[in-house]
Amino acid sequence: QVGLCVAIPKGKTMELVVQKAVELGVARIQPLVTERTVVKVHDAGKKQSKWQRVALEACKQCGQNVLPVVAAPQAVGDWLPGRGEGAAGLVASLAGGAREFRGVLRGFAEPPAAVDLLIGPEGDFTPEEIAAAVAAGFVPVSLGGIVLRVETAALYALSALRYEFGA
């Protein structure tokens, strides 16, 4: 089971992320507000309902039998400590020292039962947010030498997970 934990991008891009993530088989989506998130979440309940409807439509379109839960937006600092245990954690990072994504995926002896994939905002997470993610058990991974937009990073990483683990 893959959980996509993603900083909310500008405009209607989150709807695209939700739609495509469902098509790629995510089990849950956690929208996040970070230090560098540009979007102001005024009506979180309304946004959550909209994103959940997008997930339902994507399920119908792709024949997905299980509707992923789209959680209410949360601050990354509030979400990290309570995310639960048992899921492998991978955080996409532009910082030096992040491990190659493919190498990390291939380093698992067996596919993990659950993976939380943390994708930051444009401009990346702050060093403090990366440190908090590492403290919560996330492994910083590099998605390559090119800086990707939020939606591209999310879909790239989900596709790679699906390819490597057949999930």
pLDDT at 45: 83
- Averaged pLDDT for residues 85-89: 86
Contacts of 91 (CB under 8 A, 6+ apart): 118, 120, 125, 130, 133, 134, 138, 139, 140, 141
Judge whether 8 and 73 are in contact, CB under 8 Å.
yes
CA distance 82 to 136: 9
Q: For the segment 91-125, what is each residue's pLDDT rounded down to a tens digit?
A: 999 988 899 999 999 999 888 999 999 999 988 99
The tens digit of pLDDT for each residue in 131-158 reads 999 999 999 999 998 899 999 999 999 9
In the predicted structure, residue 50 carries a pLDDT above the cut 90: yes
Q: Which amino acid belongs to residue 48?
A: Q
- Look at the chain and report how many structural domains it folds into: 1
Range of the domain at 155: 2-165
Could you tell me the pLDDT band of residue 167, with boundaries at 50, 70 and 90?
low
What is the rounded CA–CA span in Å between residue 2 and residue 61? 20
CATH assignment at residue 72: 3.40.1280.10
Which among 53, 50, 64 is positioned nearest to 2, based on CA atoms? 64
Give pTM, 2 decimals. Answer: 0.93
Would you tell me how many other CB atoms lie within 10 Å of the CB of residue 77? 14
* Residue tagged 């990346």 (tokens): 124
